Amino acid sequence: MTVPESTRLARRLVGRAKLGEQIEVCAGSAVRTEVRVHGGEVESLTVAESRGVGVRLVIDGREGFAHAGTFDADVVSELVAEARDNAAFAEADERVGLAEPDGVDAVDLDPGDDRIASTSVDEKLALALDLERATVGADPRVRNVRTAVYADTRAESAIVSSLGIDGWDRGASCSLSTSALVNDPDGSTRTGGAVDAAGAPQDLDIEKVARLAVERGVQLIGAGPATTGRPVVVLEPRFAATVLGIVAGMLSGERVVKGRTPFANRVGEQVAASALSLADDPIDPDSLSASSFDGEGIACRRVPLITDGELNGFLHDSRSARGLGTATTGSALRGIRGTPSPGHRSLSVAPGDGDLEGFLSSINDGLLVASLQGLHSGVNAVSGDLSVGVEGIVIRDGERAEPIREGTLAGAIPRILLDIVAVGADLERLPGGSLMSTLVLEGLTLGGGSAA
């Protein structure tokens, strides 16, 4: 196999390390296409290629970093010296250092799909236009489409270090998304969105995306203000992924080191209902987020986080692992322009029993969530407190009843996990790569305009 240009460049820069220095180089390139259409016309078309190199240099417990958005030899040749200069001004930190090979062999995933590259721009334009037409035609109550988008990315990257790390990975994915504007008889507009993702354009499902977007908008027609209460809350897989993604963010080793998570010092404790088992599985070959190497060039591996409700541990890169006297879990995330930090790639829940429709039929007073708003500002990752906007469908005596809007769901993540009533067997592969099923929760407060 021909050695990729990114690997050759990274190896060359690593060879410039001086005695006593550790050097890590991350080099990569990407090609992204995005098509936005509106009203049967192309609103925007972007085809962009990017390249970049990041150099991390460590000496005497000090770290310096420098990056460039090019492979140009004249620019890249200055990066090691720049990183060295930056290290001289940094404060010493006992946790600073590069990752060392840990003996775990990388899984050969090679998730790149050449069909994206072989699909013409005109064909990609046609997909976005077809999606808009399908969305408008799915229901007479659809007034318009806010936007219909086709996007794809092909990327490759190399990570090489003076400690023996030498890895290369590539990936490719594409997506279709749309947002349907639905007329409500009260004169307002309801919005429904949907997205599909795949490894190649030929695997995208236009009709499914259009249908889901319209259904999600139509189901909110006639929505009134929420009524205050404590309903049983049902999360479809896409919203289960949102909530459990917040949980996984709180299980970052760096947050534990800094004391900024409610789960610190709780390994081995029951932190969730026994129905929940959650892992980060970046080597799942069916996930579009799958990767052979993490952001430090360490082999990715499946990391159990919660098993039968018990906290197994945290997501670590080498820095957070040093802070807690443990080993990296191959969970470093990074971009060319930044240094690594631990995080999740592809969350996966173990299937339980039952499915969405079965759960709904057994609930007398509940809420089926249709949208969540304000997640970035409504979650305190230190305390776990949560307060977010919600739209949804009231569940009454086992049946879907009236839709609601302008509600607020409030609770605390540690309590929410313990109040999980059921985890479904209806596993769904989501566009972001995670594998999720329906969750049923108690203990959340629904705030609205009037009391129940």
Q: Say if residue 407's pLDDT is above 50.
A: yes
Q: Amino acid identity of 119?
A: T
Contacts of 129 (CB under 8 A, 6+ apart): 37, 40, 42, 148
Contacts of 90 (CB under 8 A, 6+ apart): 62, 63, 64
Check residue 354 and give its pLDDT: 95
Q: What SS3 state is found at 36? A: strand
Q: Say if residue 32's pLDDT is above 50.
A: yes
Q: Say if residue 452's pLDDT is above 60.
A: no
Q: What value does the mean pLDDT take over residues 41-51?
A: 96
Q: How many angstroms separate the first and last alpha carbons of the chain?
A: 67
Joined together, the tokens standing for residue 349 give 């829940």
Of the pLDDT bands very low, low, confident and very high (cuts 50, 70, 90), residue 448 is confident
Check residue 271 and give its pLDDT: 98
Looking only at Cα atoms, what is the longest distance across the chain? 74
Please report the domains of the chain, with CATH numbers, ordered by start residue: 5-218 (3.30.2290.10), 223-452 (no CATH)
Q: What value does the mean pLDDT take over residues 47-53?
A: 97
Q: Cα torsion at 372, 373, 376, 377 (round to 10°)?
A: -120
Check residue 249 and give its pLDDT: 96
Check residue 414 and give its pLDDT: 94
Give long-range contacts, CB 8 A cutoff, 24+ apart: 374-380: 375/242, 375/246, 379/246, 379/413
Q: What value does the mean pLDDT take over residues 435-447?
A: 96
Q: What value does the mean pLDDT take over residues 12-17?
A: 96
Phi, psi angle pair for 378, to nearest 5°: -95, 5
Query: Each residue of 322-332: pLDDT tens digit?
Result: 999 999 999 99
Query: 160 pairs with which residues across the strands?
Result: 25, 166
Query: 440 pairs with which residues across the strands?
Result: 234, 422
Residue whose pair of structure tokens reads 């969530």 in the numeric block: 369
Of the pLDDT bands very low, low, confident and very high (cuts 50, 70, 90), residue 449 is low
Of the pLDDT bands very low, low, confident and very high (cuts 50, 70, 90), residue 279 is very high
Average pLDDT score over the chain? 95
Residue whose pair of structure tokens reads 């290629």 in the numeric block: 49
Q: What value does the mean pLDDT take over residues 341-349?
A: 97
Q: How, if at all, do strands 303-307 and 310-311 pair?
A: antiparallel
Backbone region of residue 7 per phi and psi (left: phi > 0; alpha: psi in -120 to 50; beta: other values): alpha
Q: Say if residue 439's pLDDT is above 90.
A: yes
Joined together, the tokens standing for residue 451 give 């009391």
Q: What is the CA radius of gyration of the chain?
A: 24
Check residue 112 and give its pLDDT: 65
Contacts of 309 (CB under 8 A, 6+ apart): 270, 271, 272, 273, 274, 275, 276, 277, 417
Q: Cα torsion at 424, 409, 309, 267 (round to 10°)?
A: 150
Query: Each residue of 84-139: pLDDT tens digit?
Result: 999 999 999 999 999 999 999 999 987 667 899 999 999 999 999 999 999 999 99
Contacts of 53 (CB under 8 A, 6+ apart): 9, 10, 13, 25, 26, 27, 67, 68, 70, 71, 76, 79, 336
